[in-house]
């Protein structure tokens, strides 16, 4: 999956998808969104290096993952 704000590098966070230029995994961003009721401001206050566009990219990445590789059987 090609997302301009998401990178995967085996040498960074074990290859987990991260916000490009950081060591912040997409899953952490999503966890914080879920815990805060989807509040971007809460995530941004905890991770000042992120932007709203980074958070949106993390959501888009997760959605694309679930559409393709991450099929979850009910």
**Confidence category of residue 5, pLDDT binned at 50, 70, 90:** very high
Of the candidates 27, 49, 53, the residue with the CA atom closest to the CA atom of residue 40: 53
Domain ranges of the chain: 6-60
For 19-55, what is each residue's pLDDT tens digit? 999 999 999 999 999 998 889 999 999 999 999 999 9
pLDDT at 38: 83
* Euclidean distance between CA atoms 30 and 43, whole angstroms: 9
Q: Which CATH class is domain 6-60?
A: mainly alpha
pLDDT at 36: 82
* Helix 26-35 vs helix 52-67: crossing angle, to nearest 10: 100
Average pLDDT, the chain: 90
């Amino acid at each position: 999956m090609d997302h301009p704000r998401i990178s995967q590098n085996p040498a960074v966070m074990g290859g987990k998808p991260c916000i490009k230029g950081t060591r912040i995994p997409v899953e952490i961003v999503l966890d914080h969104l879920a815990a805060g009721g989807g509040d971007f401001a809460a995530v941004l206050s905890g991770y000042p290096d992120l932007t709203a566009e980074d958070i949106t990219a993390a959501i888009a990445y997760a959605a694309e993952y679930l559409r393709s590789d991450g099929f979850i059987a009910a």
